[in-house]
Structure 1
Amino acid sequence: MPYLLRPALLTDAPAVTELLNTVDEIEIGRRETDLHTVEADLKRPDIDLARDSWLVFDGDLLVAYGLLWDDSGDERIDVDHYVLPEHQAGGELILETMRVRALEQARANGAGRAVVHLHLNAEPTLDTSLIERRGWSVVRRYHVLERALDPATDLAPGLPDGVRIRPCATDADRECVYRLYQASFAEHFDFQPRSYEQWLNDVYAAGALDWSLVWIVGTEELGDVGFLISRDDREAMGWIRSIGVLREGRGRGLGGLLLRHAFAVFAGRGRETVGLGVDTANATGAPQLYRRNGMTLHYAVDTWEVTHN
């Protein structure tokens, strides 16, 4: 029986979640995909499911899934691709339609080419020879780190004189976190400048955000210089989505204070594990910071890139 290729519907979210958890089990040894996260992806306001999503079925079994979105408004296009290992031919069906759609979107943005990024586990279920022969190559590696938590020992850190950590409690605080994010991440690989409204859409896209789990760090001398955004809606673990400190605030231990503050809050909420992702080539010292604070490798993710003209 030939494969069936069609766009996704919101009602397909449970089947997509099951596929992604099957891939999780193969790639990282446990199921870590939540239904609400898949639903949030399918509901993104910048995605037209009829053109930007793909499902491949073998009979009634969903065997491959693809999604495309455009954060840059220019040539950069992002995609997801998941496939069961024994159905590579089904996954391959998505690659060509994804290529056509990525170039169409980039040209609609006024760009002459599409530079497409795909994040894959370092040992993926996808046969990477299928994308290598289409011109894809690895341009970056990320590590997903994790750390066990203990409410008896993961206590709120003592703050040095002149240092404060406060929750993101007001609209003004949210705008402050936005400015700190844009400034502290501006030199990072894959950073895309966003308006405040776009950034809010981004932080809400992965699901409801509890702003009490977002903190700002500052000093009397420098004012607000850093932030940490975390979330507690993932079944597998508490999650630190992003942490940043302005250049002028680095080297003062502020990132470590934010981390340990988050560890204490998650431990107090009954979480046993906390995780985050980091660019292994990050030049701000983030990988070293995380190691010093007890975080260890869970799995690795590669960023693959291809240019379509």
Structure 2
Amino acid sequence: MPDQHPSTLPAGLTTRPLEKSDAHAVFVLMAAQEQEDIGEVAIEESDIVSDWAKPSHDLGARSVGVFDGETLVAYAELMGADRADTSVLPSHRGRGIGTWLAHWLQDLGRRVRSGVVGMPVPQGSPGDRLLEELGFRVRWTSWVLKLPAGATIPERDLPEGYVVRTAEPGELRDAHDVLEDAFLEWSVRERESFEDFTASTTGRPGFEPWNLRVALDPDGTVVGVSLVLVSDTGSTGYVDRLAVRRDQRNRGLAQALLVDSFAQARAHGTSTSELSTDSRTGALGLYERVGMVAESIWVNRAIDVAPTTESAH
């Protein structure tokens, strides 16, 4: 792949770093692309707002928006060491914008010494095909799973003395530790700060205390966590994160947390339940065994970038 992206975008397009006030425009852009590629909208504006609220994320230095007049028609950003996101409005595809963004991200990755830059794309989508052509490899595969209408997850009895309930404010740090310890067993990244965690949970637009579920052992220690969110439309309950402490697994706690999470979501007005998992976790079989069905498949495509002192474009 060439070391530099083309020096110019198609005539008439302009670029600038994104600002927090651009969150709705990015949501509209991403929603249009998802509707085109997978037939539904998975992104929530709250996802963008809470990501951009994380203290560790320098939006101005890590993003670029591409505009046609006043309309945002494409964007890219890099969060943390290697998590990129991009989107191009379907009406503006085929003009080299996606290629320009891919190279822009690599330039930025080199500047901040990422080592590798990767992003999720629907399997088989135009974005997937473009990244493959540009030399991006598949790092892992993800599945969005849904609970069919009318179905329920079989309940599992909790071990004696264990309870599942809403997390109390004083349990937030323990919940964060359980989640991070579990996710870092297979995810190669820096440990998420507690401040970033609260920005995407209690600081998320629309968050209510019941969204954070915990499993406690007989001593009252947090040993399992589920973060269940309600879509901005109010129709879907989505388990954003689910983890059980390593020494407490194979006791039915994950299934009990799932049952509780989806039941709580239904009690708060949702009609569908879903979550996502990827090939690094080995959890796909668990979700399929309790009756969940894969609705869409995504791949994380990445490319290695060698550090350089060049400035990002």
TM-score by length of 1: 0.83
5+ unaligned residues in a row in structure 2: which ranges? Answer: 1-10, 307-313
Aligned equivalent of 1:38: 48
Aligned: 1:101 with 2:108: yes
Distance of aligned partners of 1:203 and 1:19 in 2 relative to their CA distance in 1, 3 Å threshold: same
Cα offset for 1:143? 0.5
Deviates more, 1:173-182 or 1:202-211: 202-211
Cα offset for 1:180? 1.2
Aligned equivalent of 1:110: none
Distance of aligned partners of 1:168 and 1:251 in 2 relative to their CA distance in 1, 3 Å threshold: same
Aligned equivalent of 1:29: 39
Distance in 2 (CA, whole Å) between partners of 1:261 and 1:149 is: 17
Cα offset for 1:11? 3.4
Distance in 2 (CA, whole Å) between partners of 1:207 and 1:18 is: 17
Aligned equivalent of 2:117: 116
Task: Give the residue type in structure 1 aligned to 2:243.
Answer: G
Distance in 2 (CA, whole Å) between partners of 1:127 and 1:181 is: 30
Cα offset for 1:128? 2.9
Deviates more, 1:232-241 or 1:22-31: 232-241
Tell me the secondary structure at the aligned position of residue 102 of structure 2.
helix
Aligned equivalent of 2:93: 87
5+ unaligned residues in a row in structure 1: which ranges? Answer: 71-75, 107-112
Aligned equivalent of 1:194: 192
Aligned equivalent of 1:246: 245
Aligned equivalent of 2:265: 266
Cα offset for 1:228? 1.0
Deviates more, 1:120-129 or 1:253-262: 120-129
Aligned: 1:304 with 2:310: no
Aligned equivalent of 1:216: 214
Tell me the secondary structure at the aligned position of residue 127 of structure 2.
coil
TM-score by length of 2: 0.82
Deviates more, 1:14-23 or 1:27-36: 27-36
Tell me the secondary structure at the aligned position of residue 179 of structure 2.
helix
Aligned equivalent of 1:109: none
Aligned equivalent of 2:4: none
Aligned equivalent of 2:310: none
**Contact 2:55–2:195, Cα closer than 8 Å, also in 1:** no
Aligned: 1:128 with 2:133: no
Tell me the secondary structure at the aligned position of residue 126 of structure 1.
helix
Deviates more, 1:209-218 or 1:33-42: 33-42
Distance in 2 (CA, whole Å) between partners of 1:155 and 1:78 is: 35
Task: Give the residue type in structure 2 aligned to 1:291.
Answer: E
Aligned-residue sequence identity (percent) comes to 23
Cα offset for 1:5? 2.4
Cα offset for 1:258? 0.8
Task: Give the residue type in structure 2 aligned to 1:87.
Answer: R
Task: Give the residue type in structure 2 aligned to 1:292.
Answer: R
Distance in 1 (CA, whole Å) between partners of 2:29 and 2:194 is: 34
Alpha-carbon RMSD: 2.8
Distance of aligned partners of 1:168 and 1:305 in 2 relative to their CA distance in 1, 3 Å threshold: same
Cα offset for 1:201? 3.5
Distance in 2 (CA, whole Å) between partners of 1:191 and 1:229 is: 20
**Contact 1:84–1:125, Cα closer than 8 Å, also in 2:** no
Tell me the secondary structure at the aligned position of residue 93 of structure 2.
helix
